[in-house]
Chain A
Amino acid sequence: MTTGDLLRVEGLTKAYPGVVANSDVSFAIKPGEVHALLGENGAGKSTLVKMIYGLVRPDHGRMLLRGAEYAPAEPRAARASGVAMVFQHFSLFEALNVAENVALGMENPPKLRELAGKIRQVSQDYGLPLDPSRMVGDLSAGERQRVEIIRCLLQDPKLLIMDEPTSVLTPQEVEILFQTLRQLSAEGTAILYISHKLEEIRALCDEATILRRGKVVATCTPRDRSAREMAELMVGTVLTPPARSGTAKGAVALEVAGLTVDSPIPFGTSLKNVSFKVQRGEVLGIAGVAGNGQDELLLALSGELRSGVDAVQIAGVGMGTAGPNERRRAGLVSAPEERLGHAAAPDMSLVENALLSGDTRKGLTRHGFIDWGKTRAFAEEIVKEFDVRTPGTWVAARALSGGNLQKFVVGRELSQAPSVIVINQPTWGVDASAAAAIRQAILDRAAEGAAVVVISQDLDELLEIADRFAALNEGRLSAPRPVQGLTIDEIGLMMGGAHGMEVAHGHA
């Protein structure tokens, strides 16, 4: 056994009914090392860190922390041993302030006033400005993440696990986070960094362990490898970027003019004077940190949220007060971010889910009576054309994996010969090959003359498929600009810069 390892994982195996999430996984982290855990969705990264954090018990294998046997029965035990974790999805109460939220996660919280002082101290030391008395509901996603990080730092961890921390940050905020992480690492805290963003890993991490289908397929030093090499290790095949043909742009198919609506979501972001035009054959990419009005924009475009008549115009006709089916009739289809419960009904079969939004444009009913034969044929067509892996169309939507359901949902909308397509997070939680297929399908529809709006938090995705680019920041949309010639810095500024954090590491 190598001495000096902080955490050593040997032969960890964890099987769930029907799937082996981790199979004989081994790796080691030294004190102060930033170690990347790299893999596609479903590769087993989450299960692995859940075992380290005591949320899941391994079936086989063992872990050693500073040379001693380590088998946390629950997260509390893991925290007591100096292991802390920042989750991808925050567990914060929006109606409580920062200090109260931090106190809720502690075993023996000190008095709130004392705690607030500590929070200020830690946030200054690590360049994470945060006011302990602010309401969490009013914070941006980046600030919420800081609450979670500070909650961990107050425990003085030896190992900090971070699950996809940059998915909610602007490029500038990412840089600030990295400075904090480097500072922690210099002080001897090891960091286990989970991500599938390769450039980030190259910039930050000392070592990387690459997982594929639950197994360790490679270990490498990220700085010595190209992003492409790592991507191919991760996916296991050679990737082809989507092909796009330069199509001539046509007439304006979708125009949004001065769209201002209140958010129907508690603590949501209202849209403020959003305006843009999309021509036929064009892809407009809308970026933004989560929670800056993306959901509301989709609702306002799909027709689930009504606005002034002329705020949303499809082919020059005011449709702001029309419902979803009237807009579908006019040629606009949409795919919301949340697959289960919004884009699809979890307990209904794929056939029924094909009917859900396909009725109007595919003519699946006559005088209100459903033509199940035709509906089944439509569902089967989607499954075939978009390579949805399922035993059949009778299967409940919730039984499909995230990627397969996403292919079905996006496929359902794209198969309706639309003239306007609005998609929020088209490849969220989807593996790389499925994501490539979805992006290609979107580009194909644009080439056929559809106007496309893609809302996404994945900048690489937008830069890959969009012709023009705009960003949502606190419900306002920046003026769209051609993608060609945009720099990452400019994009970051469109997304709201570092949200007032530019001075964070000024003293360092």
Chain B
Amino acid sequence: MVMLEKRPNPSRFWTAATPVLAVVLTMIAGGVMFAILGKNPLEAIRTIFWDPLFGEFAWYFRGQLLVKAGPLILIAVGLSLGFRAGIWNIGAEGQYIMGAIFGAAVGLAFYPMEAWFIFPLMVIAGAFGGWLWAMIPAVLRTRFRTNEILVSLLLVYVAQSILSSMALGALRNPEGGGFPGSRNLSQYPSAANGELIAGSGMHWGVVAAFIAVIAAYVLLQRHILGFHIRLAGQAPRAARFAGVSPNRLVLLCMGISGALAGLAGLFEVSGPAGQISIDFASGYGFTAIIVAFLGRLNPVGILLAGLLMALTYIGGENASTNLGLPSASIQAFQGMLLFFLLAVDLLSNYRLRLSNRETA
């Protein structure tokens, strides 16, 4: 019989090795799934993981990699702080949408004026929009002890409705011939978040993501606030003994994750997406949850996990167009990644022991 035995100290080796093992297991199980769907599994895996990086059109896809990974990393870094403290913001998608709306609205309000301060103002507005949306579940939790998981999640659907109404109403392009959607911000120089280096996919959102990774790393490793976040997640009573106020921590963590999600939304709407439209929300806020866990809630891990997840997005899209794989199978593939990660996760705190049926 296989038994689990708790390790006295978490294993450093397995903490680092489990994400790799999870990726390998996902490839195997995904390959089986693709085979059942009647596709060559090796070709499918190669299309997803290899071609975007080293294939014929890699010059294009490598840029796309940063475009996709940027918002994922930015949102996931914010979420990871809360997750570490046991504060579950599941509604980053809503905060992402609200950041985009607030930021875009500020930019559009100045149209067609050209000035250097417009884009910085939009950045502030975007962060504020996300922060504000995250404050709703945070304040409800601290005041009325509501569950932030439910409230933040349900607010996503509210945000999506606001998005549709904005695209159809207040922010609709008056010169758009009645089509839904705002003016294209990427064609409005003072508000555009363009590529910083042509062809690299690098835009301000990617820069912000890198800064967030570094800042979160320093916060968690070197700052007492980061220590209190980790402490609150691991041992809530010990955190109170250390003088941490649980309510303050909820407001702080929800606020940071909301603001970062809002920033991601703003950089997206002013760059790659270009405009507020009905289908602006693309699920980054939800995928970022997977990214956060895949990266073991560690900023550097999240950086790598965000790039990996972006790769499966791009590769998955290619696989569905080139090989005719259903897009649901790509989502299942991404789901497997999280599943295997969580499943092998316990190896870092437990060791497997083969034993006879003697119980202890």
Contacts and interface: CB of A to CB of B under 8 A. Distances in A.
Interface of A: 16-17, 56-57, 302-304, 323-325, 328, 336, 338, 341-348, 352, 355-357, 359-360, 365, 368-370, 372, 395-396, 398-399
Contact of A399 (B9, B241, B359, B360): B9
A231 B330 CA distance: 69
Interface in B127-151: none
A444 B124 CA distance: 57
Interface string B187-225: 000000000000000000000000000000000001111
Contact of B8 (A357, A365, A370, A398): A398
A217 to B, nearest CB: 25
Contacts of B235: 341-342, 344-348
Contacts of A347: 10, 234-235
Interface in B226-263: 227, 230-231, 234-235, 237-238, 240-243, 245
A343 B8 contact: no
Contacts of B237: 338, 341-342
A325 B358 CA distance: 49
B5 interface: yes
Contacts of A324: 240-243
B242 A356 contact: yes
B8 A345 contact: no
B234 A304 contact: no
A406 to B, nearest CB: 15
A357 B234 CA distance: 16
Interface residues of B, number: 23
Question: Top 6 A-B pairs ranked by shortest CB distance?
Answer: A325-B243, A399-B8, A345-B235, A324-B243, A342-B237, A345-B238
Nearest to B349: A347
A370 B235 CA distance: 20
Nearest to A339: B238
19 contacts: A17-B5, A56-B359, A57-B360, A302-B241, A325-B243, A342-B241, A343-B241, A344-B238, A345-B235, A345-B238, A347-B234, A355-B227, A356-B231, A356-B242, A368-B223, A368-B225, A369-B222, A372-B222, A398-B8
Contact of A16 (B8, B243, B360): B360
A393 B210 CA distance: 33
A398 B234 CA distance: 12
A16 B360 CA distance: 8
Given A56-B360, A396-B8, A396-B9, A370 B227 contact: yes
Contacts of A302: 241
A359 B222 CA distance: 13
Given A348-B235, A355-B227, A396-B9, 14 more contacts: A16-B360, A303-B243, A325-B242, A341-B238, A342-B241, A343-B238, A343-B241, A345-B235, A346-B235, A347-B10, A347-B234, A360-B243, A370-B224, A399-B8
A398 B238 CA distance: 14
A346 B9 CA distance: 10
B222 A370 contact: yes
A400 B11 CA distance: 16
A370 B223 contact: yes
Contacts of A344: 235, 238
Contacts of B222: 369-370, 372
A344 B222 CA distance: 20
A348 B241 CA distance: 15
A343 B9 CA distance: 19
A369 B5 CA distance: 36
B234 A348 contact: yes
A386 to B, nearest CB: 19
Contacts of B234: 345-348
B233 to A, nearest CB: 10
Contacts of B243: 303, 323-325, 328, 360
Nearest to A391: B9
Contacts of A365: 224
A395 B12 CA distance: 12
Contacts of A336: 241
B224 A304 contact: no
A395 B245 CA distance: 27
Contacts of A346: 234-235
A401 to B, nearest CB: 11
A183 B344 CA distance: 56
B358 A57 contact: yes
A304 B240 contact: yes
A357 B241 contact: yes
B241 A304 contact: yes
Contacts of B238: 341-345, 356
Contacts of A399: 8-9
Nearest to A18: B8
A320 to B, nearest CB: 16
Contacts of A303: 243
Contacts of A359: 224, 242
A57 B235 CA distance: 33
A424 to B, nearest CB: 12
Interface string B74-111: 00000000000000000000000000000000000000
Contacts of B358: 57
Contact of B231 (A17, A56, A348): A348
B10 to A, nearest CB: 7
Given A16-B360, A368-B223, A396 B241 contact: no
Nearest to B359: A57
Nearest to A358: B242
B236 to A, nearest CB: 8
A346 B359 CA distance: 25
A346 B243 CA distance: 17
A16 B353 CA distance: 13
A343 B231 CA distance: 12
Interface string B316-360: 000000000000000000000000000000000000000000111
Interface string B166-199: 0000000000000000000000000000000000
Interface in B262-284: none
Contacts of A17: 5
B227 A352 contact: yes
Contacts of B227: 352, 355, 370
B205 to A, nearest CB: 28
A340 to B, nearest CB: 8
Contacts of A395: 8-9
A367 to B, nearest CB: 9
A16 B3 CA distance: 14
